[in-house]
A and B are shown apart, each in its own frame.
Chain A
Amino acid sequence: MTALQALALVLVAIGGGAVVFTRDPSRQAVVASLFGVLLAVLFFLFQAPDVALSQITVGTVALPLMILLALSKIRQGEDS
């Protein structure tokens, strides 16, 4: 295992913790998006560029966006 791969693993571990310990859901969506970038880097360093591409598009764009849209729908439902 190269130093770069070890660094990516450590960063992913820290990122995963950061997602869990962020308690506000809308902030959590943004942190999860950054975590998605870290995961993509990890996949790329472990020679899985196909998976890394899927991870970038789904984990950092589609997933946080859907969380945010769903959250705004829930909040507006609570207000009315």
Chain B
Amino acid sequence: MLFLPAVLLLAAGLVWAVTELPAFGHYSGVYGLTLEHVALGQRRATDIVSPVTFDYRGVDTLGEEFILFAAAVGCAILLRSQRDEEVTEAASERAAARAEEVRRPVRALAAVLVAPAVVLGAYIVAHGHLTPGGGFQGGVILASATVLVYAGGQAVAFRRVSPEPALELADGVGAAGFALVAIGGLMFGLAALHNFLPLGTQSQLLSAGMLPLLNLSVGIEVAGAVTLIISEFVDQTLLRSRRR
């Protein structure tokens, strides 16, 4: 009964909002237009999004980074409290049995895609300041490489290529790396995240000051955190399958 009036009201509001928008293709944000002109000269990064996220508004990104860190840690704490050793052994048997169930073309496709995913992820992380992409995007691509191993039915190998201590280490080291670079700005520069490294030559792999370093630490952190979250969920799925 209430649905139709609500839809009409919402539609009217949307139409009203859209008519008040600036004309298509006419951007007038002062911040964006200014950065477009100064970013290349100031930071020598050809992908302007990168200095914006890691430098001009870097402290925001530091906060976002720790949101993901907290989410991964929370996931691990909540889900691990539910599992016990006995069931974990049973789960690895179950995992071995599952490997047989996956169809061969799926296994072949997953196996073929793992290496390209790793290379692409590393490329996207390393070239964050030059081309679109960066630590976050590259990190998730790297995490998807380990997920491909799982999709290929290799739950045991999934654990082998991404052992939990290593994931936790990557998560922590990446987050700490970002924070340390930020503090480095306080120590060697003027403020937190102030650039304290040479800017180098534009379009070189090692240029744009701290940006490659920040991209690398975010890449490690994101790859670790996403894989950790997924591996905790995978564990749960295997445990429960066994209990049924």
Contacts and interface: CB of A to CB of B under 8 A. Distances in A.
Contact of A57 (B47, B140, B230): B140
A77 B240 contact: yes
Nearest to B237: A72
A70 B79 CA distance: 12
Contacts of A66: 229-230, 233
B134 to A, nearest CB: 7
Contacts of A72: 237, 240
Interface string B99-116: 000000000000000000
Given A65-B147, A66-B230, A49 B236 contact: no
A6 to B, nearest CB: 11
Contact of A73 (B136, B230, B237): B237
Contacts of A73: 233, 236-237, 240
Given A62-B143, A69-B230, A70-B233, A54 B240 contact: no
A53 B241 contact: no
Interface residues of B, number: 26
B138 to A, nearest CB: 9
B124 interface: yes
A54 B233 contact: no
Given A1-B24, A50-B49, A76 B241 contact: yes
Interface in B91-150: 124, 132-134, 136-137, 140-141, 143-144, 147
B132 A76 contact: no
Nearest to A1: B24
Most buried by B among A52, A57, A80: A57
20 contacts: A1-B24, A1-B25, A50-B133, A50-B134, A54-B136, A54-B140, A57-B137, A57-B140, A57-B144, A62-B143, A65-B147, A65-B230, A66-B230, A69-B236, A72-B237, A72-B240, A73-B237, A73-B240, A77-B240, A79-B244
Interface of A: 1, 49-50, 52-54, 57-58, 61-62, 65-66, 69-70, 72-73, 76-77, 79-80
Given A50-B132, A62-B226, A65-B230, 18 more contacts: A1-B25, A49-B132, A52-B132, A53-B132, A53-B137, A57-B141, A57-B144, A58-B140, A62-B140, A62-B144, A65-B147, A66-B233, A69-B230, A69-B233, A70-B233, A73-B237, A76-B241, A80-B244
